[in-house]
């Protein structure tokens, strides 16, 4: 299929090229759950004397007295027992193109039922979804959606996957975990979009029930994480290492922010580390920054900066390196590392997979790693 035929076919299918396919926003059938949070006991904590607890879900290890909440704002000590306040309390539910997550090597051209609750365990100054990630559950509208109902909604909506996304799914771990189990029982895959700030034990449990993880690697220095994420790089790197060593598919996104995390030497070191840790086939997405939330003083990332970052990563031996948030750029497409022919052509959220045959390049037969069925 040539480019002109591809464009004509995509337009005929009603796809918004360049701007992308807008999310289909689902309205819950159930009535709003009201302001009351959930009362489901959290996992991964230890009880301490005097009704204190210590959370063991993420590296913050919040130590909390009675009636105190963790940094995430969605877990609370109630009389010496720890509770998640967002179990079954979805605040958003959309049908999105899977490429929006972005996953480029997982079921291309399909849609994912995308869900989230309030809360996050870091505070990125450039957060795209701060209205739900940086608030407490009482501060955002939500509705009751059980794990069973979420899995059933994916099936009825024609979505072969559920994506836990928008905010930080680690903070609604119990809800995500149970939903992933329900989804798997119905033949629906689970995709996690995360900053990767989680302890090894919970992560290992999660990897037993999900199919793919996309880690937002927000920078490649501890100084950047401390100043702009309010987290730490080390645990995120351990998450990348653990996912890469598992049977779960891994993709990595790096949001390139002008003057802050775009130093060529850092990008080179990051690409080399990913190659050595996750292998040459891990898809890496260099995404364009747009000013928002607490970081409106910087311009959007120059496309030339993204292109230079991509060339740096390719030079370190990574084979699938993409440019994101630049609809229509040729680096949205997947190129066969064997014959250099395009096997998956993307233009915004319009996707042509006709040159991918059973996970192989139709031209030369080279295997293209990913989840294709």
Q: Same structural domain for residues 154 and 79?
A: no
Entry pTM: 0.91
Q: Same structural domain for residues 73 and 110?
A: no
Q: Same structural domain for residues 64 and 210?
A: no
Whether 55 maps to a domain, the answer reads yes
Q: Same structural domain for residues 48 and 189?
A: no
Q: Quick one: pLDDT at residue 39?
A: 83
Q: Same structural domain for residues 161 and 272?
A: yes
Whether 260 maps to a domain, the answer reads yes
Q: Would you say 65 and 52 are in contact if contact means Cβ atoms under 8 Å apart?
A: yes
Reading the block at residue 81, the tokens are 């027992």
Whether 241 maps to a domain, the answer reads yes
CATH number of the domain encompassing residue 251: 3.20.20.70
User: 163 Cβ partners below 8 Å, 6+ apart?
Assistant: 96, 98, 101, 112, 113, 114, 115, 191, 192, 193
Q: Same structural domain for residues 149 and 297?
A: yes
Q: Quick one: pLDDT at residue 9?
A: 43
Look at the chain and report how many structural domains it folds into.
2
Whether 65 maps to a domain, the answer reads yes
Q: Same structural domain for residues 94 and 73?
A: no
Q: Quick one: pLDDT at residue 36?
A: 62
Q: Is the dihedral of CA 360, 364, 365, 368 positive or negative?
A: negative
Q: Would you say 196 and 277 are in contact if contact means Cβ atoms under 8 Å apart?
A: no
Q: Quick one: pLDDT at residue 38?
A: 77
Average confidence (pLDDT) per 10 residues, the chain, 373 residues: 43 35 40 60 97 98 98 97 97 97 97 98 97 95 96 98 98 98 98 98 98 98 97 98 98 98 97 98 98 96 98 98 96 97 95 96 98 96
Reading the block at residue 31, the tokens are 């009535």
Whether 117 maps to a domain, the answer reads yes
Q: Quick one: pLDDT at residue 285?
A: 98
Q: Quick one: pLDDT at residue 35?
A: 47
Q: Quick one: pLDDT at residue 113?
A: 98
Whether 360 maps to a domain, the answer reads no
Whether 353 maps to a domain, the answer reads no
Q: Containing H/E element for 241?
A: helix 233-245
How far is Cα 263 from Cα 285, in angstroms, rounded to an integer? 16
The candidate with the shortest Cα–Cα distance to 84, out of 207, 147, 168, 173, is 173
Q: Quick one: pLDDT at residue 335?
A: 98
Q: Print burial letters for 136-150: b (CB count within 10 Å at least 16), e (below 16).
A: bbeebebbbbbbbbb
> 55: domain range?
40-84
Q: Same structural domain for residues 54 and 168?
A: no
Whether 7 maps to a domain, the answer reads no
């Amino acid at each position: 299929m040539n480019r002109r035929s591809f464009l004509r076919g995509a337009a005929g299918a009603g796809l918004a090229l360049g701007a992308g396919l807008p999310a289909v926003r689902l309205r819950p059938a159930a009535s709003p759950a009201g302001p009351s949070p959930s009362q489901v006991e959290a996992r991964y904590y230890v009880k301490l004397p005097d009704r204190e607890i210590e959370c063991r879900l993420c590296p913050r290890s919040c130590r909390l007295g009675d009636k105190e909440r963790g940094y995430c704002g969605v877990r609370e000590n109630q009389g010496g027992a720890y509770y998640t306040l967002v179990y079954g309390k979805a605040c958003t539910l959309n049908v999105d193109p899977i490429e929006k997550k972005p996953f480029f090597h997982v079921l291309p051209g399909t849609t994912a039922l995308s869900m989230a609750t309030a809360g996050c365990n870091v505070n990125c100054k450039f957060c795209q979804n701060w209205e739900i990630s940086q608030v407490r559950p009482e501060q955002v509208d939500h509705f009751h959606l059980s794990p069973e109902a979420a899995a059933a909604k994916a099936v009825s909506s024609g979505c072969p996957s559920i994506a836990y996304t928008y905010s930080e799914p680690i903070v609604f771990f119990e809800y995500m975990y149970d939903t992933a189990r329900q989804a798997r029982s119905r033949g629906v895959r689970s995709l996690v979009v995360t900053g990767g700030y989680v302890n090894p034990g919970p992560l290992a449990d999660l990897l037993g029930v999900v199919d793919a993880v996309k880690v937002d690697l927000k920078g490649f220095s501890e100084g950047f994480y401390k100043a702009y994420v309010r987290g730490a790089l080390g645990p995120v790197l351990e998450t990348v290492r653990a996912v890469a060593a598992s049977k779960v598919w891994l993709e990595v996104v790096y949001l390139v922010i002008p003057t802050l995390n775009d130093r060529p030497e850092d990008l080179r070191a990051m690409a080399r580390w990913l190659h050595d840790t996750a292998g040459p086939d891990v898809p890496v997405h260099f995404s364009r920054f747009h000013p928002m939330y607490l970081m409106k003083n910087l311009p959007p990332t120059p496309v030339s900066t993204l292109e230079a970052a991509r060339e740096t990563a390719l030079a370190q031996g990574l084979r699938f390196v993409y440019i994101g948030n630049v609809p229509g750029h040729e680096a949205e497409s997947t190129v066969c590392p064997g014959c250099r022919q395009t096997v998956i052509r993307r233009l915004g959220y319009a996707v042509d997979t006709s040159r991918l045959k059973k996970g192989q390049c139709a031209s030369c037969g080279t295997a293209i790693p990913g989840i294709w069925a």
